[in-house]
Homo-oligomer: A and B are copies of this chain.
Amino acid sequence: MATLPPNMRLIANFLRRLPGVGEKSANRMAFYLLRLPEADLVEFAHAVSKLKETTKRCKVCKNLTEQETCSICEDSGRNTKVITVVEDVVDLLSFETGDIYEGLYHVLHGKIDPLNNIGPDDIFMESLFTRIKDNPVEELILATNLDMEGEATAVYVKNKVKEISPDTKVTRLAYGLPIGANLEYADYMTLKRAIQGRNEF
């Protein structure tokens, strides 16, 4: 049985590892790459090989950045008195593409998930508490997902924050979000409703 030439096979095998890509799609993508300009391939390849080296976590909010602090924390136009806690950077991006929120974020990079042995110390929870201790905020919006682990994470954060900074209002996104939905895939209007209708938690 003949297959692709070695380099194309390596590329197709790699692409198959990406989420949502099967064998046939990976082959189609590899063939498509062959038709793109050499310069674009080289630029892309360079970015991929440098990706992990250049991309760091913001020292304040743990958002991804190539600097010490991310563009959101650096932005003087944002309301530093409100922090929204999200599980992942993709959730933050969903808010930002909608341009519906002016405060800051804190990215946990995960959620409390006892079944998979993920506790508060395995995600960026402590840095959130330190941040609030040093600079108490007016409001903390909990935007973890609505599944069991997301809810558990929200409850945990709320209890801790109430101890650390009793004056901080802790809110949760409104149930404008359909139950079982994933924040990453929510549409902009739904997210906007969810921000407007947030309730005391």
Name the interface size band of chain A.
Answer: 35 or more
Nearest CB on B from A114, distance (A): 22
List chain B residues, Cβ under 8 A from A40. Answer: 14
Main secondary structure of the interface of A (DSSP, over half): helix
Extra A-B contacts (19), CB below 8 Å, given A5-B54, A21-B29: A2-B75, A2-B92, A5-B55, A5-B70, A7-B66, A8-B55, A10-B43, A10-B44, A11-B51, A14-B47, A17-B32, A17-B36, A24-B184, A31-B88, A33-B48, A33-B51, A34-B55, A38-B52, A41-B49
CB pair A48–B45 under 8 Å, yes or no, is: yes
Chain B residue at minimum C-beta to C-beta distance from A37: B52
The answer for the CA separation of A160 and B96 in the assembled complex, in Å, is 61
Residue in B10, B27, B51, B92 whose beta carbon sits within 8 Å of that of A8 in the complex: B51
Those of A26-85 within 8 Å (CB) of chain B: 27-29, 31-34, 36, 38, 40-55, 63-66, 70-72, 75
